[in-house]
A and B are shown apart, each in its own frame.
Chain A
Amino acid sequence: SQQGEEDPQALSIQEGENATMNCSYKTSINNLQWYRQNSGRGLVHLILIRSNEREKHSGRLRVTLDTSKKSSSLLITASRAADTASYFCATGPPYNTDKLIFGTGTRLQVFP
C-alpha cells in the first residue's frame, strides 16, 4: 500500500522565514493534497495538485510535485505565528476510490 512519509517531523522557524516540508509516497496517485491541523482541531484542506501538474500556488503556499521521484513539497513563505500547526500530505489513489491516504505529518512551530 502507498504511504506518505514527511520530513522533517518537526520544524521551528521565526516569523517571516520560509518553511519547507517534504512528502514522499510509494505508488501511483491521482492527486496529492496538503492539509493543516491545528492542535485539537480537524484537518483543513489547503491545496490540491493533480498528477499531471508540477507546481501550484495559493496565496503564500507553493506546492511542487515530482511524480518521477514520487515526492512533493509544500513551501510556506513569510510565515506567521498563526501558521503553527501540523501539516499533512494526502494522496488519492488512481483507481476507483474516494479515500485519502495521509502522511506522517510535519509539526511546524513559528515563533513571533
Chain B
Amino acid sequence: EPEVTQTPSHQVTQRGQEVILRCVPISNHLYFYWYRQILGQKVEFLVSFYNNEISEKSEIFDDQFSVERPDGSNFTLKIRSTKLEDSAMYFCATGKTGGNQPQHFGDGTRLSIL
C-alpha cells in the first residue's frame, strides 16, 4: 500500500537554527498537511496546502514557518529560528481529496531543539 514518507526520522538542532522537514506524498494525492504533536499532547493542525499554495493555516503557523513543494514531489516544512518549544513530532499527511476526508500520515519527524 502506498505510504507517506518523512525524512529525517529524528532531527536534533540547536536553538536558533533553521530546520527543513521533508515529506514524499502518495503519488496521486493532491492535498497536503502538516501536523505536530508535542509530547503527551494532542495532534495539532499546522497548515494545509493545495494547488501549490497554502489553503489554511493555524495560529501556530506564524512567520517562523513556511511550506513549499519545490520539485513537484517533496513537500517541505521549514522552521526558522527554532525555539525550545518547537520540539515535537511533526507529521506530514496527504489526501486524495479535501473536505475532511481521510488523511494518510507519515511516521513523523521527531524534532529536538537543544
Tally of chain A residues near chain B (CB < 8 A): 25
* Secondary structure dominating the interface of B: strand
A101 within 8 A of B: yes
Please name all residues of chain A whose beta carbon is closer than 8 Å to the beta carbon of B43 when the two chains form the complex. Answer: 43, 88, 90, 102
Interface majority SS (helix, strand, loop, mixed), chain A = strand
**Count of A-B contacts judged by CB separation below 8 Å:** 62
Is there an interface contact between A31 and B103, defined as CB atoms closer than 8 Å? no
**A39 CA to B11 CA in the complex, in Å?**
18
Q: Does B75 contact A (CB under 8 A)?
A: no
CA gap between A99 and B35 in the complex, in Å: 10
Q: Are A97 and B100 in contact (CB under 8 A)?
A: yes
Q: State the A residues within 8 Å of B (CB).
A: 4, 30-31, 33, 35, 40-45, 48, 88, 90, 92-93, 97-105
